[in-house]
C-alpha cells in the first residue's frame, strides 16, 4: 500500500511540475521545486512566454512528456550523390529510434556535401573546400537557433567531417560523432585489391598505352564496390580515425565497415551514450565538446595522423579545428610531433594491399594508439574522451592482432611520422608532404615546369611536357587563387600512371586528395595569388627538395628574386560564382588552415 501511495504522489508531483513549468521559467522556481533538469532547451520550451514555441513543437508531434526531456540535434550529412552518404538517411532513423528509446527527443537536420571524387579534375572541385565553411555554419545555425541540448553528428567524407566538427565547437554542447564508415576494398577479375586511387591512376596507364579498354572497365566497375567512404587512408578515413584520437567518437569509428551489423551497433551505442550524458546535468557540463577537444586532443590527433600516414588534407583541417577550439597550434609544431612518432601503419594509397577493413581486423585505431605509447616521450597525452574514460583507459586493453598490418614500434616503416612540413624561400610559411606516400628519393633536385592552374597542367602532362627529373609546378590553385584550393589527384595520378612517379616531383599551392602518392608537395604558402614565390617561378628554375631536412627552395639569388617580385603581377581568374567571390575575399592561406577572416570591422 505504501509503495502505491508513493508512486501516486510521485506521479502527481511530476504532473504539477510540468504544468507549473509551462507557466513560469524553471530557473525562477528552482529554489521552490525540485526540478529534474535545467537544460539549454528550456529557453525554447519552458515558461508561459514559450506557449507559441511549444505550439510549434506540438505541430512536429511532441507531447506533454517530451518537454521535460533533453532535445538532441541529429546532424545528418545524407546526400544521395556521395557513396559514403547515400544510406545515411537510414542511419539517421536508427539513431533517432535509439534516442527516443533512451528518453530523449531527437531533431534531425541535414548539411550539404560534395563528393570530391566526382568533383575532381574540373571546376566543380572549386566548391569542395568552401563547402566546409557552409557545413560548419549550418550546424552552428540550427543548434544555436533552437537551443538544442546535445548533438550526435553523422558525417563520413572529406570536408563534411571537419565542417561538422568546426560547427560543433562553436555550439559547445556534448557531441558524439559517428561516421557512416568505410567501404570495402574492391578486386579486379584476377583478385587484385583495388580502390578509387587505382581508378584514377588507371587513366594515366590507359593514356600511356599501358592498359587496355577492358582492363580499364574492369577497374571502373570494381574499384568502389559498396557504400561507404573510399576504402584507403584518404581524407575521409583519415579524419574519421582522428576523431577517435581526439576522443569525440567511439572506438571503431574510423575502421568498422559501413553497412554492417557491427556498424549499426556503433550507431546505437553512440545514441545511447549521448542520451546518458544529456539526461544528467553534471555530465552535460563535463562533456561539453571544448572540454574534450582541447590542446591535448589536437596534439593527439596529429600524432596518430603521423603514425598512420594520413592525408595531407588533415593538416589543413586540423589547423582549422584548432582555431575553432581556441588552441594555439602552429604549422611548425607538426615537425616536432613527427620526430617523436614512429610510422607504424601503412595503408592505401601508400600501400595498395592494405585498406581500412584490414586495420580494423588488426586491432583498429586503439591498437595503433596503444603501440604508439610504448615509445614513450609523451607521444600521446592522456585526456578525457566522450566515452567517459580517459584516452589511456580507453586503449588499456588494446593490442595488435596482425603485425603485418600494424607494425610494432620496433619494426616501423619509419622512425618519424608520415607527414612533414617543408620550409625555404619557396615556402616561407610552409608546405606539406605525405612522406608515407613517397615512391622515389627523399632528396630531389629538378627543373621547374610551370602551369598556371590544374587544367593547363593536365593538358601539359598528357601532351608530354613533363619528363623524368622535372618538378611540376601547379600554381594559382590556393584558397584565394583557385579560389577554393582544388585537389590535384588527376595530375598526380597521370604522373603515376605514366610511370613517372619515382622520377618526377610536383609542388602546388593547391592541395592533394588523400589518394595521392609520390613526391607531391602541397599547401605552398604564401600562395601565388598573394605574391608567393611559387608565382615567381619560371620554366627551368632549379628546385631543391630535402624531405628529412624539411627544405623546399629554389636556387635563385636574392637579387633575381627581388627583381621578379618588383615585376610580378598575379593572375586573377575570372569568376561567375558569387559564393566563390565571397570566399576569395575572406579566406586565409593554407598555413592558417584556409579559415575565413572574421575580423573585418
The residues carrying an active-site annotation are 513
- How many angstroms separate the CA atoms of 225 and 257, rounded? 12
For residue 50, give the DSSP letter. G
Whole-angstrom Cα distance, residue 584 to residue 295?
29
Cβ-proximal residues to 580 (8 Å cutoff; 6+ apart), any chain: 126, 127, 130, 483, 484
Greatest Cα pair distance in the chain: 98
Helices (H), 109-234: 116-119, 128-145, 160-171, 196-207, 213-222
Q: Are the C-beta atoms of residues 189 and 310 closer than 8 Å to each other? A: no
What are the residues facing 511 on neighbouring strands? 487
Say which residue the cell 609546378 belongs to.
473
Angle between helices 313-325 and 160-171 (to 10 degrees): 10
Which strands sit side by side in the sheet containing 105-110, from one edge to the other? 105-110, 71-76, 150-154, 175-177
* Closest CA relative to residue 279, chosen from 76, 65, 105, 63: 105
Question: Do the Cβ atoms of 72 and 105 come closer than 8 Å?
Answer: yes
DSSP lists the bridge partners of residue 519 as 505
Beta pairing partners, 174: 288
Distance (Å) of CA 72 to CA 39, 143, 212, 343: 11, 9, 53, 39
**DSSP for residue 476:** S
Give the Cα separation of 87 and 560 in Å (integer). Answer: 56
Verify cis geometry, omega within 30 degrees of 0, for the bond prior to 483: yes
Q: Within 10 A of 441 (CB to CB), how many other CB atoms are there?
A: 14
- Phi, then psi, of 522 in degrees rounded to 5: -125, -175
CB atoms within 10 A of CB 269: 17
Query: In this structure, are residues 228 and 257 in contact, taking their beta carbons and an 8 Å threshold?
Result: yes
* Three-class SS state of 445: strand
Amino acid at each position: 500500500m505504501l509503495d502505491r501511495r508513493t508512486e501516486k504522489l510521485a506521479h502527481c508531483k511530476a504532473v504539477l511540475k510540468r504544468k507549473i513549468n509551462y507557466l513560469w521559467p524553471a530557473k525562477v522556481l528552482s529554489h521552490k521545486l525540485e526540478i529534474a533538469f535545467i537544460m539549454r532547451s528550456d529557453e525554447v520550451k519552458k515558461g508561459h512566454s514559450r506557449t507559441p514555441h511549444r505550439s510549434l513543437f506540438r505541430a512536429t508531434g511532441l507531447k506533454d512528456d517530451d518537454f521535460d526531456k533533453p532535445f538532441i540535434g541529429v546532424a545528418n550529412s545524407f546526400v544521395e550523390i556521395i557513396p559514403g552518404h547515400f544510406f545515411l538517411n537510414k542511419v539517421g532513423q536508427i539513431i533517432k529510434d535509439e534516442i527516443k528509446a533512451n528518453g530523449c527527443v531527437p531533431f534531425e537536420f541535414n548539411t550539404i556535401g560534395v563528393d570530391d571524387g566526382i568533383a575532381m579534375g574540373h571546376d566543380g572541385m572549386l566548391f569542395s573546400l568552401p563547402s566546409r565553411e557552409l557545413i560548419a555554419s549550418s550546424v552552428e545555425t540550427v543548434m544555436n537557433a533552437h537551443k538544442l541540448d546535445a548533438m550526435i553528428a553523422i558525417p563520413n567524407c572529406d570536408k563534411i567531417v571537419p565542417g561538422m566538427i568546426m560547427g560543433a565547437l562553436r555550439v559547445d554542447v556534448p557531441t558524439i560523432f559517428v561516421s557512416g564508415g568505410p567501404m570495402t576494398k574492391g578486386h579486379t577479375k584476377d583478385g587484385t585489391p583495388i580502390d578509387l586511387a587505382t581508378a584514377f591512376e588507371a587513366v594515366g596507364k590507359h593514356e600511356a598505352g599501358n592498359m587496355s579498354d577492358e582492363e580499364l572497365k574492369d577497374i571502373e566497375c570494381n574499384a568502389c564496390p559498396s557504400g561507404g567512404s573510399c576504402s584507403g587512408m584518404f581524407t575521409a578515413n583519415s579524419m574519421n580515425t582522428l576523431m577517435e584520437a581526439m576522443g569525440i567518437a567511439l572506438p571503431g569509428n574510423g575502421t568498422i565497415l559501413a553497412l554492417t551489423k557491427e556498424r549499426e551497433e556503433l550507431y546505437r551505442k553512440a545514441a545511447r551514450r549521448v542520451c546518458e550524458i544529456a539526461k544528467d546535468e553534471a555530465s552535460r557540463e563535463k562533456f561539453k565538446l571544448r572540454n574534450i577537444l582541447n590542446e591535448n586532443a589536437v596534439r593527439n590527433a596529429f600524432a596518430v595522423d603521423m603514425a598512420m600516414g594520413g592525408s595531407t588534407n588533415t593538416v589543413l583541417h586540423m589547423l582549422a579545428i584548432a582555431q575553432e577550439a581556441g588552441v594555439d597550434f602552429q604549422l611548425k609544431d607538426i615537425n616536432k610531433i613527427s620526430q617523436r612518432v614512429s610510422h607504424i601503419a601503412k595503408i592505401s594509397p601508400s600501400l595498395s594491399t592494405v585498406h581500412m577493413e584490414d586495420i580494423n581486423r588488426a586491432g583498429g585505431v586503439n591498437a595503433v594508439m596503444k603501440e604508439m605509447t610504448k615509445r614513450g616521450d609523451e607521444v600521446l597525452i592522456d585526456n578525457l574522451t566522450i566515452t567517459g574514460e580517459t584516452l589511456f583507459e580507453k586503449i588499456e586493453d588494446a593490442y595488435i592482432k596482425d603485425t603485418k598490418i600494424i607494425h610494432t614500434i620496433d619494426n616501423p616503416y619509419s622512425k618519424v611520422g608520415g607527414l612533414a612540413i617543408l620550409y625555404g624561400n619557396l615556402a616561407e610559411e610552409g608546405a606539406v608532404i605525405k612522406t608515407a606516400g613517397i615512391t622515389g628519393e627523399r632528396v630531389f633536385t629538378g627543373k621547374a615546369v610551370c602551369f598556371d592552374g590544374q587544367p593547363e597542367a593536365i593538358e601539359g602532362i598528357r601532351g608530354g611536357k613533363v619528363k623524368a627529373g622535372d618538378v611540376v609546378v601547379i600554381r594559382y590553385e590556393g584558397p584565394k587563387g583557385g579560389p577554393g584550393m582544388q585537389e590535384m589527384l588527376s595530375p598526380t595520378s597521370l604522373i603515376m600512371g605514366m610511370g613517372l612517379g619515382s622520377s618526377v616531383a610536383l609542388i602546388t599551392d593547391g592541395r592533394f586528395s588523400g589518394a595521392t602518392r609520390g613526391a607531391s608537395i602541397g599547401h605552398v604558402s604564401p600562395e601565388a595569388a598573394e605574391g608567393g614565390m611559387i608565382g615567381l617561378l619560371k620554366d627551368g628554375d632549379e628546385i631543391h627538395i630535402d624531405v628529412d631536412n624539411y627544405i623546399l627552395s629554389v636556387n635563385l639569388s636574392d637579387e633575381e628574386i627581388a627583381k621578379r617580385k618588383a615585376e610580378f603581377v598575379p593572375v586573377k581568374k575570372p569568376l561567375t560564382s558569387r559564393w566563390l567571390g565571397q570566399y576569395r575575399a575572406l579566406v586565409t592561406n593554407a598555413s592558417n588552415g584556409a579559415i575565413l577572416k572574421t575580423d573585418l570591422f
